[in-house]
Amino acid sequence: MKKSQLGFLVVAATLLLAGCSGEATVTATPVKNVDTVSVTSPEDIDVFCPTGICTFELSTSAPTKVTVTMHYDYSKLYTKIEGVSVVGEGAKDAKVVDEDQFTVELTKKNTPVKIEVIDFYRN
């Protein structure tokens, strides 16, 4: 095998391996009653919803599991998440973790998923 062909194979293999180990990029978009959405890492998102009922979209560049923390504002967290609805084929297994957090698995890249969250003690 020629040196140029061997060099090409090494570069191609390096690019493929680097692409496999890339971290997911999560995008969050407010839809209804959301003041701010902050993606603090590919696994953690803060959503600020002053009414206690809100809708937002999430999408990802690679499959990942995210934890979403719900806030009324910067000083008050949700008191008790009553329900989380996920609409779209790009996610599964939305589970309430505690009073103000839930997790959701984003399974399909570049496929927006609409999420509605309701707090039991909403305003």
Count other Cβ atoms within 10 Å, centred on residue 85.
11
What b-and-e string marks burial along 45-72, b requiring 16 or more CB atoms within 10 Å of the CB?
Answer: bbbbbeebebbbbbbbebebebebbbbb
Q: Name the architecture of domain 24-116.
A: Sandwich (2.60)
Q: Rounded CA gap, 41 and 64, in Å?
A: 11
pLDDT tens string 61-111: 999 999 999 999 999 999 999 999 998 888 887 899 999 999 999 998 888
pLDDT for 113 equals 93
State the Cα angle at 112 between 108 and 118, rounded to 5°.
115
Confidence (pTM): 0.79
